[in-house]
Structure 1
């Protein structure tokens, strides 16, 4: 009977232990689920932001295409204007050529009349000279030599006709020359007016052609901007997809790590942890919520980032990483956004994580026992990293906590 009571008591205690343990496990899983749901939401926001940028770029491209269509319409309209201007220029050029031909013909006529005038003038001069040589009484003597009244009348008529013909010939030649000079002057005036119009038409044609060239240059610029924005839009879409995948990968890794480290340890760590990168003490990003440097959204930074020195500048790339405390290596490999990662179990639910290590730098493997301060790897920039640094985490029963209280 005593043994039976003892057995029943043992069963009851076991059931009580199971019942009391279950709520704790359920509470952790719920919190963990909420954390990952939040991380997933932030990842979706990052992807949505990239997609919004892509959508905005698509809208800008639509606007560019509308402007390009207007420019192309202007160019088409200018083509008609240029065609008309070219036709007018060609017509005026032909008119100028014709007028110049007419002016040249008039100049030729004037030269011919001038030659005739000169010849006649010379003849008259010769006649006057002969008359002068024979004396002023030449015509009187010519008349006195008449044999009869009829001869006198004939001689008188002849003298009058000679004098009249000479005067008429001279007057006609002078009149012809004046008319030709007037016609030439009028043609020259017309030529000057038409030539001025021709120059104006040529200038207008050049202006239109220059304007079309400017429009074509603007169109080429708009097409170049359109190509740039289209490329940027494609990159944003690709970046949105990449960020979504990286965020999901990083959150999945964090969740897997939490699941792997899940336990009911006390969370106590004996003493103070060793600084994980001796000689480099600048914290470039502390534990807590921040704007993710790659995802661009506010999310929990589950550890601290130890980066290069700034004063004086000194690179941390390749610096030695040491174990923060004694324990067993439970993971050494590549973990998505964490890159090359080592996880050390220190007991009592306490674990430390060392991420983004340089490829090929691991000095320990899974199952190895390490001591506090022992070299385990080197700083690098693998995984989801913007540059060489060590991402260091302290996790209690799988949940990331601020490492600083353990390091000080």
Structure 2
């Protein structure tokens, strides 16, 4: 019997099968959800000059106790007002450039006005530069503001705009085809007979991919027939990744591997030391990577989380494509594990993480109630309540 491939080895082998796709240049407003292909270099400093962080009066710190004569008014979006001298202050508003001669801002709440003369009624500024945003305090021209491989979320795009950029070099979106197989599958919303099952897996996997920069195609409800499966695989030959769901085991009606080999595909690995998700298969068919997921809903979800999503992130240019592991205290007694890594559906909150009593890989009710997959390494001893455990948020 061929030994099962360890989980981490399988993940690395899958990633090593693919190279990130070539980059493309996009207007910065179109780059949301992509991965940055090269470091974002600032073309300007922010702030570009010293400016006020508060509505008030700009003064020289050495003259911080006043009184002062108002020598001008500085507004945001305007050139700096004239320089101030000893005994003078300028009315200033948030975001306005500091005038020459001023280095500190006194809040307007601490000032009493009498015509053009003002005096201090509160505490003087505690330090030079108080309530001033200094030139380059956020970043300087030439700084790396966002690293290559970073997911471009709204704050990252705003950062790029502030850095003076109008376009970004990003990874391309991988093309992914989802093929769900099985004579028992019927379309969503269709009345299913006792021997039939609504096709939920392809919708689930497609929805997971919507969170990533991917171009998806669904080829759903393929019959358990060699010719039909081969035809579906061939129709997706232009895709970077072909994902099959179901039919990846070794039963008489599990035809994914035979169809894959009939078309000249090369299997890289098959069967992983993990639970759920043991029958996962990966290989190459022409220019496409084929990833065959198990048909049980939980198995499909877990293997997509651990294999498909990292593969798509890698192809799209992510610097760190693997799921982020977090740590929490378990509120459940965890029995020892065998030679297979286990991923347990769980609920995590500020008090810790609890696993569900049932881990049946066909129960979507538990998967939909979970917000975490608790990780149990192979050959782990029993873990008491209160032990630190690793998990992935879902």
TM-score range, shorter chain: under 0.3
TM-score, length of structure 1 as denominator length: 0.25
Q: Which has the larger radius of gyration?
A: 1
Structure richer in helix, relative to its length: 1
Structure richer in strand, relative to its length: 2
TM-score, length of structure 2 as denominator length: 0.26
